[in-house]
Structure 1
Amino acid sequence: MKNKIGFKSFLAGTACTMLLLGQPLADACTALHLTAKDGGVVVGRTMEFGLDTKSDAVVVPAGTRLTSSLPDKSKGIHYTTKYGIVGLNFMEKHMVVDGMNEKGMYVGALYLPGYASYQKETPENAAKSMTPEDYVAWLLGNFSTVAEVKENYNKVLLVENPQKEIGGQSFPGHFLITDSSGASIVIEPIDKTLKLHKNPLGVLTNSPSFDWHMTNLSNYANLSAVNVKPLNFSNTTISTFGQGSGLVGLPGDFTPPSRLVRAVAFSQSAIKLPTATETVLQLFHVMNAFDIPFGSIQEKTKDAVHYAYTQWTTVADLKNIKYAYKTYSDQSIHSIDVHKALTAAGKGIKIIEMDSKQPIEDVSTKFK
């Protein structure tokens, strides 16, 4: 899966799962973060899709000139990145779907079908227009904190940019931004304008809109990681069957509302470890709870059955500025030191191939 095509423009942000080459869509990405005792914030995210996303890691040094993704390159935002970026692309189309910058700010684009909408590009708004595919790169390339994003997020205008790969629609996404302090927000293109939501719990999935998800959490206010104590009714003791009774009623399906409730339950009950470095492995374990096995989600069409499954999982250490991932075909954890990668890249965008196979070690005779 070597990517030999050079970048002429840098597209950032894409659907978690989309209608590609006639395949049915299924939206199932999940993101959350944990905080270590040393204050380090670590963000995890899964990517689900119905066919091979052919993702690779992308290294974008500071000072890189990025151009508009509009068909007419003379229109839209053109800028030079202030900060270096490391993230993952999509379908060899040079799209970064998930990434962080050298200052320890993370941005992820997740699918928001049925809710996202954009204005049309016109001569009057062309100077500040930007496609949704460009938005993540603009955020990571220009800002280092959530506070800075809050001040500037709506100084650009996201406009329609139909993509044949997703059935001729514009990418319907929303965006999670988290910085090294733990501050987190969600930006959604609702009613053709960008709406900003505070994200005190640091989680995100897919449709409906984020404010709906926050209201829906009220239905699960009874959940707790603490086991339920036995009850006494008329001198009869009623005990639970085993462990986990505090989370009885936790939704286990793969719909966005259910996954968001689980993301809150697992992130809020996670024990704080001493360091961000230790928390990286902890978060990979937490994100395993959102793995979608191949065959669990099926979309039937007239001619075939299509399967959405977890293609890769990323974990961004915002304290130590490291970005790690594992894939469906290789559950080994691969780590990118962002500063080291940016230094080695020099000038120009570089690609790190992700495609690899899971090593299985034979320990039959490795006796203790």
Structure 2
Amino acid sequence: MKKFLKTVLGIFLILASNALACTGITVKTEDNKMIQGRTIEYGEGNLNSKLVISPRGKEYQSLTPEGKFEGHKWKAKYGFVGASLINELFIGEGINEAGLNAGLFYFPHYGSLAKYEKSSAKKSIVDMQFVSWILSNFSTVEELKRGLKDIKIVNIALDEKGNPLPTAHWRVGDANGGNIVIEIVNNGEVKIHENKVGVISNSPDYEWHVKNLNNYVNAYAGNAQSYELNGQKIFSFGAGTGALGLPGDITPPSRFVRAFYFLSTIKPINNSKEGVEEAFHILNNFDIPIGVEYSKEHKQYIPKDLPSATQWTAISSLNDREFYYKTMYNSQIRKVDLKKIDFSTVKYQANPLDKKPEESIEELVF
């Protein structure tokens, strides 16, 4: 166990100096269905993500920043399905049998958790196990808000200088339409934002991102109007000139703006099937090629086994209790129907996201 914990914490120390990029969106349908989607990016190594199926009644205990299983204990009220990060203990995104969805998004420089104290270990949950705690305990956003008062979120570990590692902020949504962003700042101050715009990325904080949308008030669907000036006709070269000025880089503020633009300009979505498909189409725009973050002099350090910095994209259909995903190795969309799982009897399991790390290509022979 000590070797396992040392290895896991060692990986987190490496991740602490590099950026995890994530983009999340909410698609709402004409028949009042909720679809939550997101990507996760990391270009320095394989996150070793697994498809985790956790049963109802499973007993959990949180790690402490000391690397010991001495934190908060709980017994799962709900079963869930999710994708892990680094280790199966740490769920990055998932949905439970009640239709509650939760996921973590990297939040460096802004997230500031409560300082861990041994005296409050039994109420402490490390940030990387927060999603598991949410999914296994609650059915709605309102239930979660009440439950947050009973626990304290602390950092998974400290770096070599004794400083807490960068943490996350979290998006949570339910089948009733509840949709919030949880940010913990100022050494433990919990802020809950109603996610009215249906978007989340990384730093800065959610309120900053929403204010920043005002810089793009002129962006709209379609084309700008042609006009004539001094006998010279000024016209659009092609489709989409209403979007001129949208940022195209991969920074969190730019991804937030683009995601909002795509959400605000999509066609009416009639049902959850269309919603899932549309969510994948939108998130395709945030697929980051592997070499983008490496400068010319660092190209030799690009990992040879990573085909993409976007390691997986996941979609949760909250009302239909379905979890969809595709990966950097295989763009075939896969689906887990939680309604077909008996969470009272299913065994806990963590399976590879891909049976084989290769693209599923169909050859057509004529």
Q: Are the equivalent residues in 1 in contact too, given 2:290–2:302 (CA < 8 A)?
A: no
Displacement of 1:21 in angstroms is 4.2
Match of 1:34 among 15, 18, 27: 27
Deviation (angstroms), 1:306: 4.1
Match of 1:46 among 39, 45, 51: 39
The yes-or-no answer on 1:333 pairing with 2:328 is no
Aligned to 2:110: 115
The aligned counterpart of 2:319 is 319
Deviation (angstroms), 1:191: 0.6
- Matched with 1:276 is 272
Match of 2:147 among 133, 152, 162: 152
Name the counterpart of 2:52. Answer: 58
Is the Cα–Cα contact under 8 Å of residues 55 and 79 in structure 2 kept in the other structure?
yes
Tell me the CA shift for residue 353 of structure 1.
2.1
Q: Distance in 2 between matches of 1:72 and 1:280?
A: 38
Does structure 1 residue 67 correspond to structure 2 residue 66? no
1:252-288: CA deviation from partner (whole Å, max 9, x where unpaired)? 1000000000110011211122210122122111110
* Aligned match for 2:290, one of 294, 313, 331: 294
Q: CA deviation at 1:19?
A: 6.0
Q: Is the 8 A contact 1:226 1:246 kept in 2?
A: yes
Deviation readout 1:65-104 (Å, 9 max, x if unpaired): 1112114757431111111111011223531111111111
Quick check: 345-354 or 82-91, which moved more?
345-354
- Distance in 2 (CA, whole Å) between partners of 1:231 and 1:359 is 49
8 Å CA contact 1:62, 1:84 repeated in 2 = yes
2:129 and 2:277 map into 1 onto residues whose CA distance is: 31
The residue correspondences of 1:58-207 to structure 2 (distance < 5 A) are 58-70=52-64, 71=66, 75-162=70-157, 169-192=164-187, 193-207=189-203
- Where in structure 1 are there 5+ consecutive unaligned residues? none
Assess if the C-alpha contact under 8 Å between 1:132 and 1:171 holds in 2.
Answer: no
Structure 2 CA distance for partners of 1:93 and 1:143, relative to 1, 3 Å? closer
1:69 and 1:133 in contact (8 A); partners too: no
Q: CA-atom RMSD, angstroms?
A: 2.8
Aligned to 1:216: 212
1:309 paired to 2:304: no
* Whole-angstrom CA distance in 2 between matches of 1:301 and 1:65: 48
**SS state of the match for residue 289, structure 1?**
helix
* C-alpha distance in 2 between matches for 1:147 and 1:57: 27
* Aligned twin of 1:352: 351
Structure 1 residue 162 displacement after superposition: 1.0
Judging changes above 3 Å, is the alpha-carbon distance between structure 1 residues 22 and 39 closer, same or farther for their aligned structure 2 residues? closer
Alignment match of 2:254 (pick from 245, 254, 258) = 258
3-state DSSP of counterpart to 1:134: helix
Per-residue displacement from partner, 1:91-136 (whole Å, max 9, x unpaired)? 2353111111111111110100111112222244333222112211
- TM-score of the pair, normalised by structure 2: 0.87
TM-score (norm 1): 0.87
Residues paired across the two proteins, number: 350
Deviations 1:162-191 (A, max 9, x none): 1679x9743510001111233211111111
- Residue 231, structure 1, aligned to residue 224, structure 2: no
Alpha-carbon distance, 1:248 to partner: 0.5
Higher helix share: 2
Q: Which runs of 5+ in 2 are unaligned?
A: none
% identical aligned pairs:
33
Give the secondary-structure state (helix, strand or coil) at the position aligned to 1:297. coil
